[in-house]
Structure 1
Amino acid sequence: MSTKIDQLSSWLKERKITEVECLVSDLTGIARGKISPTNKFIAEKGMRLPESVLLQTVTGDYVEDDIYYDLLDPADIDMVCRPDESAVFLVPWAIEPTAQVIHDTYDKQGNPIELSPRNILKKVLKLYSDKGWQPIMAPEMEFYLTKRNADPDFPLEAPLGRSGRPETGRQSFSIDAANEFDPLFEDMYDWCEIQGLDLDTLIHEEGPAQMEINFRHGEPLHLADQVLVFKRTMREAALKHDVTATFMAKPITDQPGSAMHVHQSIIDKNTGKNIFSNDDGTMSELFLHHIGGLQKLIPELLPLFAPNVNSFRRFLPDTSAPVNVEWGEENRTVGLRVPDASPENRRVENRLAGADANPYLALAASLLCGYIGMVEGIEPSAPVEGRGYERRNLRLPLTLEAALERMENCKVAEEYLGRKFISGYVAVKRAEHENYKRVISSWEREFLLLSV
């Protein structure tokens, strides 16, 4: 451990870094932590944070006291946060030379903190490693650019591009529409290159100023770190150009939602071969069981893919998003798409996660569902040919409340992810939902104010 810290210290000194942003991801995916002078960071070899940050809601509130004290020490003790030398990124938008370092979290005895999203992903990856398997993943992040909006009561609007005009109509895959924001994306690509993020293509999606960034396939933990950093980077690049970047699942009424599509395959660590394909190039039993596990368990773990009340607006009819866990080859109308690829590159694309999902938890949940399918030999349904939106046999829970209840009662989830994590995650999401229900919406004022 000390050798790795020494290497990190040398890296920081070589780049004349004066400040270090020490980060951990909370359950929402918000970067929490401390900003430390480099000398202090090197001397302390990490940081301490109250473990309560892992039960903090998106509004800054905490769960109810009886749950809080059941899951955490009543003295509100600190957890030990140790830097991961493989998760170090520069902060190109900072005025002073700054680095951001993602930390792992432990208790005083050195045990991984069970509520930590990064630890949850590492726990799932160990299941694969123990079988001699190496998951390979590639996330695709959708997001909207919008005008700056200081009043949450006003709907979001498309920003002005270089032409001085906002987008109208659907501009799917339009090069010219994406080029409207060239200066912004040049900064974004420059910053991501400086940080070593493995970006691939930029695509204009269906909605006005809705974009998609694809990541190159790679190791899941490293990619989850990169998604966390990319979200920060994209928001900062947008702010520099006086617009906003949002990863809300459904930010604009009557426009498509934003997803985090996740491609996943598995390599045998001994042979280097894709275990999703047989020697003759056909689909393997393990591949079909992986899909079967996704079909059976995604509805049980849906809050890890759709964590907010806004997430479920993506699943409304006629919203261009899948509303079930059907699967099909080269079919974008189902939740689980098998792209047309060579046997060496056979994979499944999980299209159900929202862009608002915590990347560590979404990747962990997607891999866990497939893992359980393989070890339990779960058979998938027949693949869908043609349009899959109307299929109702494998529908998802329709509300966050229903999804949380299902996850809370899922014994398999508790077995693999731990009671403390399931209880804590559900409690945080219920606290957020209670907060949401206290707000009177514009719809209620518009249609009920003078009518009931």
Structure 2
Amino acid sequence: MNASGKLERLTLWLKERKITEVECLISDMTGIARGKIAPTSKFIAERGMRLPESVLLQTVTGDYVNEDVYYRLLDPAEIDMFCHPDESAAFLVPWAVEPTAMVIHDTCDKWGNPIELSPRNLLKKVLAMYAERGWQPIVAPEMEFYLTQRSGDPDYPLQAPVGRSGRQEIGRQSFSIDAANEFDPLFEDMYDWCEAQGLDLDTLIHEEGTAQMEINFRHGEALHLADQIFVFKRTLREAALKHNVTATFMAKPMTGEPGSAMHLHQSVLDRDGQNIFSAPDGSMSELFLNHIGGLQKYIPELLPLFAPNVNSFRRFLPGTSAPVNVEWGEENRTVGLRVPDSAPHNRRVENRLPGADANPYLAIAASLLCGYVGMVEQLQPSAPVQGRGYERRSLRLPLTLEAALERMENCRALERYLNPRFITAYIAVKRAENENFKRVISSWERAFLLLSV
């Protein structure tokens, strides 16, 4: 179907639902929804929107990268990029007072070339590489998050919320049904809203941390799942606010509690829909081992796409139950790359390293790219880990954002796959955020240094 036909179908979808307002969205580097809100009539008439490309160089604090990088990457005239609605990425906004939809847009220049700094375009580029070889990646994300009491003071430590029993959750409640049911009204709204949006949610579980939960998505096409995570984060936050609590996807929001991950299960199908990770006899295929080899070699080079913030690396501290390596093993949750026990047609690898705070487009793109390069370059993995892998010293990851950014900046092996402009832009955004962070005096410094040094 051509662009005109797709827009007509989207127009019909809006009219059938009597939508009066459209939120026109793109994802920035952080995963924040940026864009415009338009009356439906204006949205249909204009067939998209224009935004300054500088939006993609904006940090989580709303600042921009330094001027040297800014004007090296962007037109000095600060021209607009053109944003076109993707009719397959239209969702209802169930919490809005008026009938409202959100539509995710693709970005291009005036000649129709994809904007290289766009996270969604990066994922589409990686998927195109797979398609050229007759492959289709399938992913199934698992999103961990915390519910907390609402607080207007960022210096005050987060606290677990009070459930419907009137009591605050304490202690570890892994897989507890009753502990999850404490927040039934919130989750009922969440599921109702996600169903209205067509999100493919699967199971809800109570995770290890206090008021920490996990939502699993059904497996599916990678771009569609990235869009769903992008929408789900907004949806859950709105459901939490309705019930006077906060939902956070910070990688490590609470001291002494486990971090929150975005585990990515990934497999690859051929043109006939067969899983290329399994050989005809049902054993692991050579391509599967190559895929793991690529993940092992290149995840450390692209770690800032999986752990994008200073807070992300708190999840990797010793004793936090998060793997800090790219070892692999079967049915082993102590390594970064777990191969679940499954039937041959369901064979997959679970990348357990991305944080819940990662931009879903970038984390999925990076994870699939690492595996793709492994298959193309026929990389071999290390021997699988038997038993506990937390303390393994080989194949370890950078442990600070500064070290990870430096390693990504110096990686030349992936420049043929990742445009250098994107790498420069992403690193500049993350360094600007890190510099902003370092200007803030923490409560730890005031507590231990104020009268001691």
Quickly name the TM-score band, shorter chain normalised: over 0.9
CA distance in 2, matches of 1:186, 1:318: 34
Q: Sequence identity, in percent?
A: 81
Shift of 1:257: 0.2
Q: Is the 8 A contact 1:407 1:413 kept in 2?
A: no
CA distance in 2, matches of 1:412, 1:220: 24
Shift of 1:414: 2.3
Q: Is the 8 A contact 1:314 1:321 kept in 2?
A: yes
| Cross-structure match for 2:73 | 71
Q: Is the 8 A contact 1:90 1:100 kept in 2?
A: yes
| Cross-structure match for 1:304 | 305
**Is 1:6–2:8 an aligned residue pair?**
yes
| Cross-structure match for 1:322 | 323
| Cross-structure match for 2:369 | 368
CA distance in 1, matches of 2:382, 2:182: 44
| Cross-structure match for 2:60 | 58
CA distance in 2, matches of 1:60, 1:248: 18
| Cross-structure match for 1:356 | 357
Shift of 1:417: 1.3
| Cross-structure match for 1:259 | 261
| Cross-structure match for 1:47 | 49
**1:23-80 deviation per Cα after TM superposition (whole angstroms, max 9, x unaligned):** 0000000000000000000000000001100000000000000100000011111100
**Is 1:172–2:155 an aligned residue pair?**
no
What letter is aligned with 1:319?
Answer: T
Q: Is the 8 A contact 1:413 1:422 kept in 2?
A: no
- Give the alignment's Cα RMSD to 1 decimal: 0.5
What letter is aligned with 2:338?
Answer: R
CA distance in 2, matches of 1:254, 1:58: 25
**1:332-383 deviation per Cα after TM superposition (whole angstroms, max 9, x unaligned):** 0000000000000000000000000000000000000000000101110000
Give unpaired runs (5+ residues) of structure 2.
none
**Is 1:208–2:210 an aligned residue pair?**
yes
CA distance in 2, matches of 1:212, 1:74: 44
| Cross-structure match for 2:387 | 386
| Cross-structure match for 2:429 | 428
Give unpaired runs (5+ residues) of structure 1.
none
CA distance in 2, matches of 1:101, 1:417: 27
What letter is aligned with 2:205?
Answer: I
**1:196-253 deviation per Cα after TM superposition (whole angstroms, max 9, x unaligned):** 0000000100011100000000000000000000000000000000000000000000
| Cross-structure match for 2:291 | 290
What letter is aligned with 2:18?
Answer: K
Shift of 1:421: 0.2
Shift of 1:412: 2.4
| Cross-structure match for 2:93 | 91
**Is 1:411–2:412 an aligned residue pair?**
yes
| Cross-structure match for 1:128 | 130
What letter is aligned with 1:22?
Answer: C
TM-score for both structures, normalised by structure 2: 0.99
Please give the secondary structure, in 1, of the residue aligned with 2:300.
Answer: helix
CA distance in 1, matches of 2:4, 2:289: 44
CA distance in 2, matches of 1:77, 1:412: 32
Shift of 1:305: 0.1
2:195 aligned to which of 188, 193, 196: 193
CA distance in 2, matches of 1:318, 1:93: 39
CA distance in 2, matches of 1:335, 1:256: 16
Q: Where do residues 86-165 of structure 1 align in structure 2 (5 Å cutoff)?
A: 86-165=88-167
TM-score for both structures, normalised by structure 1: 0.99
Shift of 1:3: 1.1
| Cross-structure match for 2:27 | 25
**1:181-201 deviation per Cα after TM superposition (whole angstroms, max 9, x unaligned):** 000000000000000000000
CA distance in 1, matches of 2:168, 2:382: 44
Shift of 1:320: 1.0
What letter is aligned with 1:328?
Answer: G
**1:239-288 deviation per Cα after TM superposition (whole angstroms, max 9, x unaligned):** 0000000000000001000000000000011x221000001110000000
CA distance in 2, matches of 1:119, 1:221: 10
CA distance in 2, matches of 1:174, 1:84: 40
Q: Is the 8 A contact 1:249 1:259 kept in 2?
A: yes
Q: Is the 8 A contact 1:276 1:284 kept in 2?
A: yes
Shift of 1:419: 0.8
Please give the secondary structure, in 2, of the residue aligned with 1:413.
Answer: coil
Shift of 1:293: 0.4
